[in-house]
Amino acid sequence: MTLAPRRARPGDLARIAQIERATFPDPWSERSFADTIARRGILALVVDGPESRPVAYGICSLSGDEGEILNLAVEPDSRGKGLGRILLRAMVRHLGCSGARSVYLEVRESNNPAISLYEQEGFRVLGRRRAYYGHPREDALTMVLGLGHDGHEKDEGMREIG
């Protein structure tokens, strides 16, 4: 298994959607992935497994000086190997090099493994989005990583988000 992320290709979309369905209770459709990846300012990365097919993916966006992690997932059989961390770091690095001063994401309040990863990588809870997720209905935590001119994290306070 190569641990180097690569840019997702159109032929990866079905596999990305399959990983999504195995990971999230309210998954994006293959069409949603295709539409998102086609937008300006979007980067989609995958990590290939031993059969040279994606086992993990991450999608991020840049708008002005704000980056956002839109989606990050690792297939169940490949979890615990650091693939999520590799993708997260690659996306943050890309966003920082592209001019982002902050990187945001939303995560299910109950997704403790993801929250732990994000906190280990320097993200802090900024606020809560009530009933953000529909199936099952659950709040999202909005997290932020501030990127200063010198590459150091900036402190952001917690607040309620509409």
Catalytic residue at 57? no
In eight-state DSSP terms, residue 22 is H
Question: Looking at residue 150, what is its pLDDT?
Answer: 45
Q: What pLDDT, in 10s, does the model give residues 105-158? A: 999 999 999 999 999 999 999 999 999 998 889 999 999 999 975 444 444 433
Pair 156, 116: CB distance under 8 Å: no
**The one catalytic residue among 57, 104, 106, 133:** 106
Pair 55, 15: CB distance under 8 Å: no
- Mention the CATH class of domain 6-146: alpha beta
What is the rounded average pLDDT of the residues 50-69?
96
Residue from 3, 2, 1 nearest 86 by CA: 3
Catalytic residue at 119? no
**The one catalytic residue among 20, 57, 104, 118:** 118
| Run of H or E including 106 | strand 102-108
Q: How much is the pTM?
A: 0.89
